[in-house]
């Protein structure tokens, strides 16, 4: 082995001395690198994340599926050609997964300017492919019935039979990401955490199992938020945020579910919460448009509408002058990436003087927590009463309306 390495070094030195142009062929300039490859195994799918040093535009055809090649000893697999990325031989031997769904993940230099991602499959149902910015990532979620059961759960019940037991509460931002900054330096991340902790306590009072994606001021990636939610087997996901506007007079509460909505106002909020310019939400919107989320979407809308009703009623009963900006839809990464009924609450504007005063107040935070928890409790009652009864109960609940361009 040592001799082989010596020989290679000699060859390389030879190339350097004799033909500098050949070195350029080794790695063309201007390419990005693969920074890291990670996988997460959940009950319903396995997530593969390839982190890159620069953003890429994926080919239109996306992932291509290849049948098993028994002669070459290759299993059923998916591959994707990633342009403008150099990986060299670093991941040639691949990363083993072996979770009953994926065998493993390999990356190789397909052409000088093209890296090929290969996902070796054990089982396959369908997949979704999308990109995330800052840092640039390619995400592949592979869904399917696992070959062998991991742990005791052996997969989840169909959504309509699911009980509502575990609630994931997600305080937006944190650590190096302060979120919006408002009046008197009020930081969104602090408001979010404070309300989320109160909400967790109120949900526990009602017998829910509660998982907080963070319980202190720390930085969390999107994948880490989703991992906390998915690995806890959560039934409901509630992301807590506070709003911001360039107009200091803008104030009020708005509640969001997931949708690829081109309405201007929702895009602005989603862009801020996603940490990207609105124009860059296009890939996510295209991914959303391709995905069938029927049952999950309608359950999320029901959850959102009950939370919304409760919060607005609670505010009115207390004579709080906080405007109802309504129930809206938008392309939020954090709602897109988990597989449970999910809702995002924008609790008020840190950039408005009166809202900021409310958001600072422990009393107001508690009122909000009680009302959100009541909304989740009503959602549980509807789900557990069964489809027929829940349809009856849902009648009269406010429908989802599109954003109305308040800014
Ligand atoms: Zn936020």
Distance 270 CA to ligand 1 centre (A): 9
User: What pTM does this model have?
Assistant: 0.79
**Domains of the chain, with CATH numbers?**
32-143 (2.60.40.3500), 159-394 (3.40.630.40)
- What is the rounded average pLDDT for all residues in the chain? 84
What pLDDT score was predicted for residue 253? 95
Least confident of 64-78, 180-194, 269-283, 368-382: 269-283
Residue pLDDT, tens place only, 79-97 = 999 999 999 888 988 999 9
Average pLDDT over residues 104-109: 96
Distance 79 CA to ligand 1 centre (A): 35
Distance 128 CA to ligand 1 centre (A): 26
The 3 state secondary structure assigned to the chain is CHHHHHHHHHHHHHHHHHCHHHHHHHCCCCCEEEEEEEEEECCCEEEEEEEECCCCCCCCCCCEEECCECCCCECCEEEEEEECEECCCCCCCCEECCCCCEEEEEEEEEECCEEEEEEEECCCCEEEEEEECCCCEEEEEEECCCCCCCCCCCCCCCHHHCCCCEEEEEECCECCECCCECHHHCEHHHHHHHHHHHHHHHHHHCCCEEEECCCCCCCCCHHHHHHHHHHCCCCEEEEEEEECCCCCCCCCEEEEEECCCCCHHHHHHHHHHHCCCHHHHHHHHHHHHHCCCHHHHHHHHHHHHHHHHHHHHHHHHCCCCCCEEEEEEECCHHHHCCCCEEEEEEEEECCCHHHHHHHHCHHHHHHHHHHHHHHHHHHHHHHHCCHHHHHHHHCCCCCCCCCCCCC
Distance 180 CA to ligand 1 centre (A): 6
Residue pLDDT, tens place only, 151-202 = 434 344 444 456 899 999 999 999 999 999 999 999 999 999 999 999 999 9
Distance 47 CA to ligand 1 centre (A): 24
Distance 71 CA to ligand 1 centre (A): 52
Distance 178 CA to ligand 1 centre (A): 9
Distance 34 CA to ligand 1 centre (A): 29
């Amino acid at each position: 082995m040592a001799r082989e390495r010596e020989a290679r070094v000699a060859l390389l030195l030879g190339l350097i001395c004799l033909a500098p142009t050949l070195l350029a062929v080794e790695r063309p300039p201007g390419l990005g690198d693969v920074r890291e490859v990670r996988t997460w195994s959940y009950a319903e799918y396995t997530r593969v994340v390839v982190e890159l040093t620069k953003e890429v535009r994926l080919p239109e055809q996306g992932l291509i599926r290849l049948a098993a090649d028994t002669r070459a000893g290759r299993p059923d697999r998916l591959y994707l050609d990633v342009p403008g990325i150099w990986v060299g031989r670093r991941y040639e031997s691949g990363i083993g997964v072996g979770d009953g769904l994926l065998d493993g993940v390999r990356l190789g230099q397909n052409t000088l300017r093209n890296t090929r991602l290969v996902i070796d499959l054990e089982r396959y149902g369908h997949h979704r492919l999308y990109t995330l910015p800052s840092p640039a990532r390619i995400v592949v979620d592979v869904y399917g019935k696992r070959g062998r059961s991991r742990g005791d759960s052996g997969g989840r019940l169909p959504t309509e039979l699911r009980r509502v037991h575990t609630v994931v509460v997600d305080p937006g931002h944190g650590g190096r990401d302060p979120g919006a900054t408002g009046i008197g330096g009020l930081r969104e991340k602090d408001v979010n955490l404070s309300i989320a902790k109160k909400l967790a306590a109120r949900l526990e009072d009602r017998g829910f199992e509660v998982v907080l994606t963070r319980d202190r001021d720390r930085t969390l990636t999107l994948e880490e938020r989703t991992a906390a939610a998915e690995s806890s087997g959560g039934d409901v996901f509630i992301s807590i945020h506070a709003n911001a506007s360039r107009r200091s007079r803008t104030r009020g509460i708005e509640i969001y579910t997931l949708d690829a909505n081109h309405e201007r106002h929702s895009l602005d909020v989603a862009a801020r919460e996603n940490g990207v310019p609105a124009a860059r939400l296009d890939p996510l919107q295209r991914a959303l448009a391709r995905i069938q989320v029927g049952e999950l979407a309608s359950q999320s809308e029901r959850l959102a509408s009950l939370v919304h009703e409760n919060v607005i009623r609670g505010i009115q009963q207390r004579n709080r002058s906080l405007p109802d900006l309504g129930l809206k839809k938008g392309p939020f990464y954090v709602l897109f990436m988990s597989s449970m009924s999910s809702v995002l609450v924008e609790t008020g504007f840190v950039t408005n003087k009166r809202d900021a005063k409310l958001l600072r107040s422990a009393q107001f935070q508690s009122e909000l927590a009680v009302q959100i928890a009541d909304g989740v409790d009503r959602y549980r009652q509807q789900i557990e009463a069964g489809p027929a009864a829940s349809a009856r109960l849902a009648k009269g609940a406010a429908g989802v309306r599109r954003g109305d361009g308040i800014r």
